[in-house]
A and B are shown apart, each in its own frame.
Chain A
Amino acid sequence: MSEVLLSIGNLTVGYSADHKNILFENLEIKLRAGELVCFMGSNGVGKSTLIRTLAGLHPPISPINKIEVDPKHIAVVLTDRVNAVNMTVEELVTYGRYPYLDWNIQLNDRDQEVIERAIDLTHIQHLRSKKIYELSDGQLQMSMIARALAQDTPIILLDEPTAHLDLNNRVEIMNLLRNLSRKENKAILVATHELDLALQTADVIWLANRNKKIITGIPEDLVLNGSFDETFQFKGFDLKTGKVFHEAWRNKSVRLIGEGHEYLWTKNALERNGYSVAETATTKIKIEKSNESLTWVIDDYKNCSGIKDLLYNMTAKIFPN
């Protein structure tokens, strides 16, 4: 087991006004070097509050009423918007060095080096002199991560860094965090809603459940023992196959013959349209592949040039009127 960087026992988190609003009770928090932890849970369960508590920005209810955080130990990326006119990306990243500077904020060579490295790691060299209001959401998020990296801390906490981003940016950010934890031996905690990404990148998952506890474990274990299903109470999503559940409302099954991606996507289209795919069905669809072109053949006689065509002919065949 790698080095434990953060360990807090018996932590209770919430809003202390008459202690009624307790979000988590008696948590045992451990973050280890080199581990990427994805923190998941439904909206409103208190993920952001826990992150702010760990960062010392929000008072915990117990064991003590204030966590003292060394800014050289923990860096955070929050959902707070930064809207300062005129601030450039480079200035933003420079903020990461503030814990190391006196009131005169004079950067030395080492500070410059760390800033350059943070900018390199996040691939934002081309943005450095841009104003932050000119950035896209993804670029801004990358810059905020660069700022946290410039802080040069063993622990980084991130609150939904992938919210509002497109798939490409989400994958990029999760991969970056994955690599950082491994190569820089940092402990990284990410609150996220990206179930599929988290399952594929996290070393450890924290699941916030409804009993004010957090279940921890490696992703695959939590999938198989049903913790995910219990936490999220999926409505129409089957986690074990990773698919949205489709009702076979046409009450009609088809036998699909083919292979590879063509097979998977044809199956997807059929299930999405209310067919069930079964080996024993009488209606047969065969996917034929000949030099780059694909043909779908229904019951050996009707050729279709695409999946749209196939679906059209299926309805025509099954409901001839």
Chain B
Amino acid sequence: MGGLLMQTLFRNPLAGPDVLGLSSGASLVVALTMMIPGFGSSLFSHSFTLALAASTGSTVIFLIVLGFSQRVKDNVSLLIIGLMIGAATSSIVSVLQFMSRAEDQQYYLVWTFGSLSSLNWGEIQILTLGTLVGVAISIFSVKSLNGWLLGDHYATSLGISLKNSRILIIIGTSILTGSVTAFCGPIAFVGIAVPHLTRLVIDTTNHKLLIPAVIMCGAAMMLLCDILSRFPGSTTILPINAVTALIGAPVVVWVILRSKKVRL
């Protein structure tokens, strides 16, 4: 879902929460709250704090990327900047890991593997709330999202306020990425892969159809990955991140191959 919003906003098929550093931004703030002694341990048990931390992280990174997007007009440089930010935040996380206590590290490591199952009801309620708000914002933005596809000038000439819709889309994406990352860990590749899979199934550029389709497709995909990660008939549970990347990577390759035939 976040991936679709970002791909439209940046008009780049490879944009997605994790590529542009959103997920790693969320990870950084989560790592900070978990591993800084005295600050984290008292708070992080509170799941809402975790969600807030992750949301803040992804928002901050998104704002930085967006700030750059005003300066550099071409999307490839922006993507590179996003990747660099992602790399930088990841390395800060490594430094934190190096300096923190073993048990905090363990918590963090488990969190980064990603999991759909380790949620209690309270957490699910918060996650649901975050998702609903994020989805509501995106549904409210379908008109401007469609407008973005035409490019800045055409969108403005159709009376779509770029500034307002950009901010709205950022907030929506950050809430979605933030809340999901907080509870399920930084889940890789789904953000990029699902919108492309969806476009393969339904043949439209209209976000009014794309948004619900991506939501369903994304949920189905995550469930599938979750089932696969459980190894039917065994008690071992694989980290879900390994599974999503395993499915996501070929999709990205396929998109690149396809974009030679079709100008994206």
With contact pairs A91-B205, A105-B143 given, residues A98 and B264 touching in the complex (Cβ less than 8 Å): no
Report the separation of the CA atoms of residues A91 and B150 in the bound assembly, to the nearest whole angstrom.
11
Q: Is B69 an interface residue when CB atoms closer than 8 A count as contact?
A: no
How many A residues touch B, CB cutoff 8 Å? 32
Chain A residues with Cβ below 8 Å from B149 are 82, 84, 87
Q: Which of B51-73 contact A (CB under 8 A)?
A: none
Chain A residues with Cβ below 8 Å from B156 are 56-57
Q: Is B208 an interface residue when CB atoms closer than 8 A count as contact?
A: yes
B142 contacts A75, C-beta separation under 8 Å:
no
Q: Which of B227-264 contact A (CB under 8 A)?
A: 262-264
B263 contacts A83, C-beta separation under 8 Å:
yes
Q: Is B140 an interface residue when CB atoms closer than 8 A count as contact?
A: yes
Q: Is A217 an interface residue when CB atoms closer than 8 A count as contact?
A: no
Considering residues B143, B158, B204, which has the most beta carbons from chain A within 10 angstroms of its beta carbon?
B158
Q: Is A133 an interface residue when CB atoms closer than 8 A count as contact?
A: yes
A103 contacts B140, C-beta separation under 8 Å:
yes
Q: Is B222 an interface residue when CB atoms closer than 8 A count as contact?
A: no
B264 contacts A80, C-beta separation under 8 Å:
no
With contact pairs A57-B156, A103-B142 given, residues A98 and B147 touching in the complex (Cβ less than 8 Å): yes
| Residue ID in chain B nearest A133 by CB atoms | B263
Report the separation of the CA atoms of residues A131 and B141 in the bound assembly, to the nearest whole angstrom.
24
Q: Is B90 an interface residue when CB atoms closer than 8 A count as contact?
A: no
A85 contacts B150, C-beta separation under 8 Å:
no
| Residue ID in chain A nearest B196 by CB atoms | A85
A73-104: contact bitstring with B at CB < 8 Å (1 yes, 0 no)? Answer: 01110101111111100010001101101111
Q: Is A298 an interface residue when CB atoms closer than 8 A count as contact?
A: no
Considering residues A75, A84, A102, A105, which has the most beta carbons from chain B within 10 angstroms of its beta carbon?
A84
4 more contacts with CB within 8 A, not counting A83-B263, A84-B205, are A71-B157, A85-B199, A103-B141, A133-B262
Q: Which 5 A-B pairs have the closest CB atoms?
A: A71-B159, A84-B149, A87-B205, A98-B158, A99-B159
